[in-house]
């Protein structure tokens, strides 16, 4: 068996939504160089919808693939739905991750949540539901 | 192009070794302990292999114990010296921070059993200094264990000098020579070691077979109890075919040491020079006191597993000391010991050349590595911060 599913390798080799949003409405960064995975998520939000999302990742293949898949899962979705993204959903969408790589999907979930928190902080007028 | 550049992990078996071993699987399959001729022929092959191995490292046949490989040899050597030491009330062992886990984990276990272990630090180039070892030896030291060459960064240790110190102090000396045997000239007499570990699959022999050299008179404790094989020092029906193949592979490897070094060192240095052009990267280990096949770099702002998988896509098989490739949270203890910070140690790459490496392959590896490193840096938040001067470059 290969180390990773074909989905993981596809998102690793051709990551979606890579990059930076200069005037982002929310930015989230998690992880640290010590543990070996760092993710940064940039959000553009309009009328309560995630209009655009970009990521930068320092990490292993499953960290890159998890970031890529997580951004795909929230792009175009209402903020309320993006907030409900779970690491299981990310891992499932990737056709699974090896057990010792599940922390990468957790980081992806946390990075998105951090970015959304940052959005609420910067936009106190936005209401949560 | 396909380039196998992970020869420090394992090597392809030599043709000669495969040819020598097959009769001992297919026809001469007798148990060497048996009295009929089929068994005795296997026994003869076993003892001939012992003579070959002994001759090639400058030992006596009775000083060679066949084992299942490097890990077992390390375990047996260290436990033997520890048990012998404990009988005299000596429960202190000196080693260093960059040993293989087969040594380090054995020492950890001995610590739990009441031994005291001093792991001396290494220089930033990854060298164990003889004076530091000398200073660490105490009245109750029963063993010094320092590897001949490091498996990650390829540094060749001053084993001969350390051997002299140990002899003068009357302390047993073991060296893990798994990466050195068959790759650099080596004789146990010259090194002044009491115990030496080797593994066949690192010099084009089969996996799961190796040997332990124990100088005549050195007490050996049994790890595996059972029959009287290996003169009672290692039970279990011998891996005759594997041992025969190991001897054949070692014969070939030792005969080629000088020729291979002449060919490989310029190729290794070409690879080092090429990779040195990648900004904010650095060679790990010593540029000169280094195995002819070993190249190891750290590149800032990237992570090793991603680098390896993208190199694999380009037909290059390599390895890394990143945490994600080891399955633990910490990157290589060797890179940390030579002073690389955690974040930098994650971005390491080891290319260990085969004897058949070519200049064309070297240039291809330089180009592929440069491309992949810049690609990964392109979306690395760590690199981004470094480039924006929000963080300081280390390399
Ligand atoms: C320096 C060193 N010691 C010990 C070992 C273990 O050898 P083996 O795989 O034969 O058990 C290795 C190989 O990984 C090694 O490189
Ligand atoms: Zn990871």
ipTM score: 0.95
Q: Rounded distance, CA B226 to CA A105, Å?
A: 49
Give the Å distance between the CA of B196 and the centre of ligand 1. 12
Residue B65, pLDDT above cutoff 80: yes
Query: Residue B102: its pLDDT value, please?
Result: 97
Closest ligand relative to B157 C-alpha: 1
Is the residue at B319 inside a domain?
Answer: yes
Over residues B312-344, the pLDDT tens digits come to 999 999 999 876 665 566 789 999 999 999 999
pLDDT over 70, % of chain B? 98
Q: At what angle do helices B37-57 and B240-276 cross, to 10 degrees?
A: 30
Same-domain status, B102 and B191:
yes
Alpha-carbon distance A49 to nearest alpha carbon in chain B (angstroms): 25
Q: CB A20 to CB B322 under 8 A?
A: no
Q: Which residues of A touch B302 (CB under 8 A)?
A: 58
CATH class for the region spanning A6-122? alpha beta
Report the 10 Å Cβ neighbour count for B222: 15
Average pLDDT, chain B: 97
- Residue in this structure with the two tokens 């890529």, named with its chain if needed: A68
Q: Closest residue of A to B379, CA-based?
A: A56
How do B92-96 and B141-145 pair as beta strands? parallel
**Domain range spanning residue B367?**
257-387
Is the residue at B393 inside a domain?
Answer: no
Over residues B285-316, the pLDDT tens digits come to 999 999 999 999 999 999 999 999 999 999 99
Q: Rounded distance, CA A36 to CA B324, Å?
A: 7
Same-domain status, B180 and B95:
yes
Residue A37, pLDDT above cutoff 80: yes
Same-domain status, B240 and B165:
yes
Give pTM, 2 decimals.
0.96
**C-alpha R_g of chain A:** 14
Same-domain status, B55 and B192:
yes
- Residues of A labelled catalytic: 35, 104
Same-domain status, B369 and B304:
yes
Q: CB A18 to CB B329 under 8 A?
A: no
Q: Which residues of B touch A58 (CB under 8 A)?
A: 301-303, 380-383
Contacts with A22 (C-beta within 8 Å, 6 or more apart), sequence order: none
């Amino acid at each position: 068996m290969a180390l990773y599913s074909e989905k993981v390798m596809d998102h690793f080799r051709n990551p979606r939504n890579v990059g930076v949003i200069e005037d982002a409405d929310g930015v989230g960064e998690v992880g640290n160089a010590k543990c070996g995975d760092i993710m940064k998520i940039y959000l553009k939000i309009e009328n309560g919808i995630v209009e655009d999302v970009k990521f930068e990742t320092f990490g292993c293949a499953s960290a890159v693939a998890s970031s890529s898949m997580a951004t795909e899962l929230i792009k175009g979705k209402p903020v309320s739905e993006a907030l409900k993204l779970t690491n299981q959903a990310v891992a499932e969408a990737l056709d699974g991750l090896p057990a010792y790589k599940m922390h990468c999907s957790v980081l992806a979930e946390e990075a998105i949540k951090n970015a959304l928190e940052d959005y609420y902080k910067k936009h106190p007028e936005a209401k949560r539901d | 192009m396909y380039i196998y550049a992970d020869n420090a992990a394992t090597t392809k078996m030599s043709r000669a070794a495969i040819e020598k071993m097959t009769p001992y699987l297919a026809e001469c399959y007798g148990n060497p302990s048996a009295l009929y001729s089929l068994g005795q022929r296997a026994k003869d092959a076993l003892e001939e292999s012992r003579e070959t191995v002994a001759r090639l490292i400058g030992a006596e046949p009775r000083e060679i114990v066949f084992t299942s490989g490097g890990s077992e040899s390390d375990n047996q050597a260290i436990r033997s010296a520890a048990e012998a030491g404990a009988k005299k009330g000596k429960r202190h062992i000196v080693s260093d921070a960059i040993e293989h886990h087969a040594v380090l984990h054995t020492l950890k276990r001995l610590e739990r059993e009441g031994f005291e272990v001093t792991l001396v630090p290494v220089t930033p180039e990854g060298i164990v200094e003889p004076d530091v070892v000398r200073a660490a030896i105490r009245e109750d030291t029963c063993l010094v264990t320092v590897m001949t060459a490091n498996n990650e960064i390829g540094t060749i240790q001053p084993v001969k000098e350390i051997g002299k110190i140990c002899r003068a102090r009357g302390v047993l000396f073991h060296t893990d020579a798994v990466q050195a045997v068959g790759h650099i000239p080596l004789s146990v007499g010259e090194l002044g070691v009491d115990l030496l570990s080797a593994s066949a699959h690192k010099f084009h022999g089969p996996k799961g077979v190796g040997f332990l050299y124990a100088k005549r008179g050195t007490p050996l404790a049994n790890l595996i109890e059972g029959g009287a094989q290996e003169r009672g020092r290692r039970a279990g029906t011998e891996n005759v075919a594997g041992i025969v193949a190991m001897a054949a592979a070692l014969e070939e490897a030792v005969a080629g040491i000088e020729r291979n070094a002449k060919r490989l060192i310029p190729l290794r240095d070409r690879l080092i020079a090429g990779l040195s052009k990648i900004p904010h990267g650095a060679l790990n280990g010593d540029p000169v006191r280094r195995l002819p096949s070993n190249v190891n770099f750290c590149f800032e702002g990237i992570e090793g597993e991603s680098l390896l998988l993208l190199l694999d896509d380009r037909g290059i098989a390599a390895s890394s000391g990143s945490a994600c490739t080891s399955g633990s949270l910490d990157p290589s203890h060797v890179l940390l010991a030579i002073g690389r910070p955690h974040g930098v140690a994650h971005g390491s790459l080891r290319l260990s050349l085969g004897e058949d490496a070519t200049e064309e392959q070297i240039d291809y590896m330089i180009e592929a590595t440069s491309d992949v490193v810049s690609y990964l840096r392109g979306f690395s938040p760590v690199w981004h911060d470094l480039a924006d001067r929000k963080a300081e470059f280390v390399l």
